[in-house]
Amino acid sequence: MDEFDDIVLNCFLKKQNQLFSEPVASNLDEAEAFLEECMAVVVDSAEEVWEYFEEEGLDMEGAAPDEIIEADEVFAVGDGRYLIVQG
């Protein structure tokens, strides 16, 4: 299971409204519990975001890599990594 560091957790807390209409977490502990429960993953690059969606069997035909990282379930952490949350 992925370990979510404080940078990832803070990113999710700040940006969770891009995927959810109401906050699902209000602090780091709640964010970590939520991300673990929904089996969120952290990847190291935009290319790995693409690979993740391919492995999950999502139809990405015609999609550009930059469109994939703009998906609601993809959160740019800010240090080159991406958090993927399947809401």
How far apart CA 2 and CA 82 sit, in angstroms, is: 13
Cα separation of 55 and 28, whole Å? 29
pLDDT tens by residue, 34-49? 999 999 999 999 999 9
pLDDT tier at 2, thresholds 50, 70, 90: low
Does residue 1 lie in a domain region?
A: no
The C-alpha atoms of residue 8 and residue 33 are separated, in whole angstroms, by 13
* 28 within a domain of the structure (yes/no): yes
- Nearest-angstrom CA–CA distance, 62 and 15: 27
Does some domain include residue 79? Answer: yes
**Residue 48 covered by a domain:** yes
Q: Give residue 29's domain range.
A: 6-84
Among candidate residues 5, 72, 14, 68, the one with its CA nearest the CA of residue 42: 5
pTM for the full predicted model: 0.90
Question: How many structural domains is the chain composed of?
Answer: 1
43 phi and psi angles, rounded to 5 deg: -120, 160
